[in-house]
Amino acid sequence: MKLPLLDKNGAPHSVDIDDVLTIKPTTRGPEFHTATGIYTFPTTTNELISLFNKHGFQKVDRCSIINMDKAVLFDAKQRKVYFDGESAEGSVIYATVSEHNAGKLKHLIREDFGIQSYGSRSWINRLSHHPTGPN
């Protein structure tokens, strides 16, 4: 298993769990010691972006880093981006989007939230009537 970690300079690395010699808890989080160096988990937004940006993740709000490849709908009025599927609890999955980052999602704006725009994605029909979904 590969772990997405950062080296001492903050550069992203994919470290194989089999290469980890010891894990030491610290106040900043665990340190993963290998024969080639010491690595840490990302703890800041910038560190997360440096690790996951190449996999399609982008910051869209101060508290939201999303997988752009999984986003299916952007409600510009409510500034929410929606994802296909539901959470384990059955609720719609969405993230908030800052006004500054709304331009990143313009390609996902739809005038019609109905089934005609989305074919077999039946959840989108429910989305237009869901308390947290578009109104």
HEC string of 8-26?
CCCCEEEEEHHHEEEEECC
Determine the pLDDT at residue 119. 40
- The pTM for the full model equals 0.70
User: 68-119, pLDDT tens digit by residue?
Assistant: 999 999 999 999 999 987 788 888 899 999 999 999 999 888 765 543 334 4
The domain locations on the chain are 2-49, 56-127
Determine the pLDDT at residue 31. 97
User: 2-27, pLDDT tens digit by residue?
Assistant: 999 999 999 999 999 999 999 999 99
With tokens 């109905």, the residue in question is 114
